[in-house]
A and B are shown apart, each in its own frame.
Chain A
Amino acid sequence: MNRIKQLFKNKKKDILNIYFTAGYPNLSDTKTIILELEKAGVDLIEIGMPYSDPLADGPTIQESGTHALKNGMNLPLLFEQIAEIRQHSNIPLILMGYFNQMMQYGDVAFLLKCAEVGIDGLILPDMPLYVYEEQYQTLFEKYDLTISFLITPQTGEERVRKIDALSKGFIYMVSNSSITGAKTGISEGQLNYFNRINQLQLQNPRLIGFGISDHKTYSTACQYANGAIIGSAFIKTIAQEGDLTTLIPDFINFVRNPQLETTEIV
């Protein structure tokens, strides 16, 4: 069974999905990062394929991508790395990138390769729904790959239902109308949006991303959805001086558990 479907079958809450850019900070860090995240108890991992023009990403992720490309990261190499990592890890893995990258690799070859190396799902934020439905849905099903579409506070109910019908795995709930890493904290308006989506009784589990950076935002997200996605805050963490084998578990601990010393005194 697909590892993402398996995960959501067994676990309904407090799911932590961590995003990182492949090839950053160093070309060969992919393996260390995935193994450390798995060891630290992260539930699934989103591997970003670095892209020259990442429209849906904020400056932190774009910079990490620019850096990774300079390091020499590319898709064939990434697939090689993932195939090797799969010998040592069974954590659900998602590839996140832009539709142009899949097109240039060769769309069918890309999907086949994902399945071969042990990728479980894809997020392609700029692939239109009808393109997926008409051209790729059958292939995704054939290769047992999940697809997660995004919804935002501006996505209307009819479209949310359409996305729910097409998504397999989980729905990526963009927490606010914003690019990644732009805002922190969760507002009343966002809570209303989370509640509104909850009331729709969708078939797919939902993970909240964008603006999740610490325990407080993580636990709020977990309260209103099945879990949370963290990207920019994690990228900033691994950009720091220090050993990934310390930085990563420390960060996951910081997110998962309340921090006494940082609790605000009201």
Chain B
Amino acid sequence: MYQVNERGYYGEFGGAYIPEMLFPNVEELRQCYVEIMNEPKFQKEFQDLLRDYVGRPSPLYYAKRLSAHYHTNIYLKREDLNHTGAHKINNTIGQILMAKRLGKTRIIAETGAGQHGVATATVCALMGIQCIVYMGAVDIKRQAPNVSRMKMLGAEVRPAESGSKTLKDATNEAIRDWINNPENTHYIIGSVVGPHPYPDMVARFQSVISEEMKWQLKEQTGNENPDIIIACVGGGSNAAGAYYHYMDEKEVRLVAVEAAGHGIHSGESAATSVLGTKGIIHGSRTLLMQTDDGQIIEPYSLSAGLDYPGIGPLHAHLIDSGRAEAVSITDQEALDAAFFCSRQEGIIPALETAHAFAAMDKIKYSEKDVVVINLSGRGDKDLQTYIKHLK
């Protein structure tokens, strides 16, 4: 019911609104991605790398002190313990194997905070494939450590100088690169965004998160379904992975946490489900922040991984249909949650993930509930920001 249909839509969202120059590449992928992913040989290679290289399964950890504080049962899905420190690597491992199957010899990617760029540079090094990462010129300045990591891994980081010089422009530049290099290049998109089949393909690669949650919960609680799953949503890849095997289980509440920046109506926000309207961004029909005239608005969040003006079409559908509930968290609330989580559990979460923790103060739950928070990434990359706010 929440799976993508034949044409690449989730309800009315999705599709592939792309110029003809991109059509052959996207069409090639569309025609064979499911078949390739289902090949036993592909699956084995993917699963082996997830286990031996990424370090999966990632633990499901019962957070005792947080649970006591909130008077409920909180489990943390530890994607922060993956190689490169976030869930992003699940997708890049899958896509680099896909690129190899398609005979591609050159990889491009976009990155905002640099996490997806690092995860892409990592798998390119692993496979010995050329890697070019587009990153907004503004983001290159504010995420210097990740730029260095990508370079150390052998990737070329190209600044996106157009528009607002952030994630959305890096994505535009990557798409342009793909138009200019239609034969040898595969574009590794980092989230469940872009033209079909990307949202579905990325969601499938990330679905390992909820696949593991099922048996881990069964082992630890006796029931494979939790009551609530909380995940932060920028484009929405970690949320897609955490929801994937629960979308049709109606009794499991799905909570999508968006960045409200300085406040939803402050003019500096990235809460797409509230501020967005239906339209097209990066080849997908979805909810996005735009003017009345259809010009895409530059969003704001302290967290570079959440300041995307759109949202994946799957999430647009989940929220629009009422299946998922959207919660907005401000910069300050996220910062407070990051410090609280650090001191309560000894885990410094990524600033993106801190938004998911902060949602505990906003949602309704009961004492008996089993709540899973998808701990999508660790906070090392955000130390500069955290240090500024150390009390």
Contact = CB atoms under 8 A, between A and B. Distances in A.
Interface in B5-21: 7, 15-21
B22 to A, nearest CB: 8
Interface of A: 51-53, 55-56, 58-59, 62-63, 66, 69, 74-75, 98-101, 103-105, 125-128, 130-131, 149-152, 154-156, 159, 174, 177-179, 182
15 contacts: A55-B19, A55-B22, A55-B282, A62-B163, A75-B294, A99-B17, A103-B294, A105-B294, A126-B19, A126-B280, A128-B18, A131-B15, A152-B20, A154-B23, A155-B23
Given A105-B293, A128-B15, 19 more contacts: A55-B18, A55-B172, A58-B176, A66-B163, A100-B281, A105-B294, A125-B19, A127-B17, A128-B18, A131-B15, A151-B20, A152-B24, A154-B23, A155-B20, A177-B179, A178-B21, A178-B179, A178-B180, A182-B180
Given A150-B19, A179-B176, A59 B162 contact: yes
**For B17, B172, B175, B294, which residue has the most chain A Cβ atoms within 10 angstroms?**
B294
B87 interface: no
Interface string B167-178: 010001001100
Contact of A53 (B179, B183, B278, B296): B296
Contacts of B180: 177-179, 182
A56 B21 contact: yes
Nearest to A154: B24
A126 B179 contact: no
Interface in B280-339: 280-283, 290, 292-296
B182 interface: yes
A249 to B, nearest CB: 31
Nearest to B278: A103
Interface of B: 7, 15-24, 162-163, 168, 172, 175-176, 179-183, 277-283, 290, 292-296
A139 B41 CA distance: 49
B162 A62 contact: yes
Nearest to B294: A104
Nearest to B280: A100
A126 B17 contact: yes
Nearest to A76: B293
Given A74-B293, A154-B24, A179-B180, A128 B172 contact: no
Given A179-B179, A182-B180, A101 B20 contact: no
B179 A75 contact: no
Contact of B296 (A52, A130, A179, A182): A52
Nearest to B21: A152
Nearest to A153: B182
Contacts of B295: 51-52, 69
Contacts of A105: 293-294
A174 B21 CA distance: 8
B12 to A, nearest CB: 12
B279 A104 contact: yes
Nearest to B20: A150
A177 B15 CA distance: 23
Contacts of A103: 278-280, 294
A231 to B, nearest CB: 14
B19 A101 contact: no
A65 to B, nearest CB: 10
Contacts of A74: 293
Nearest 10 Cβ contacts at the A-B interface: A104-B294, A56-B19, A150-B20, A154-B24, A125-B19, A100-B280, A52-B295, A101-B294, A74-B293, A126-B17
A149 B18 CA distance: 12
A100 B279 CA distance: 6
A83 to B, nearest CB: 18
Nearest to A149: B20
A101 B179 contact: no
Given A104-B279, A179-B176, A179-B179, A53 B163 contact: yes
Nearest to B177: A179
Contacts of B294: 51, 75, 98, 100-101, 103-105
B293 A155 contact: no
Nearest to A178: B180
Contacts of B23: 152, 154-155, 159
A62 B18 CA distance: 17
A252 to B, nearest CB: 27
A225 to B, nearest CB: 16
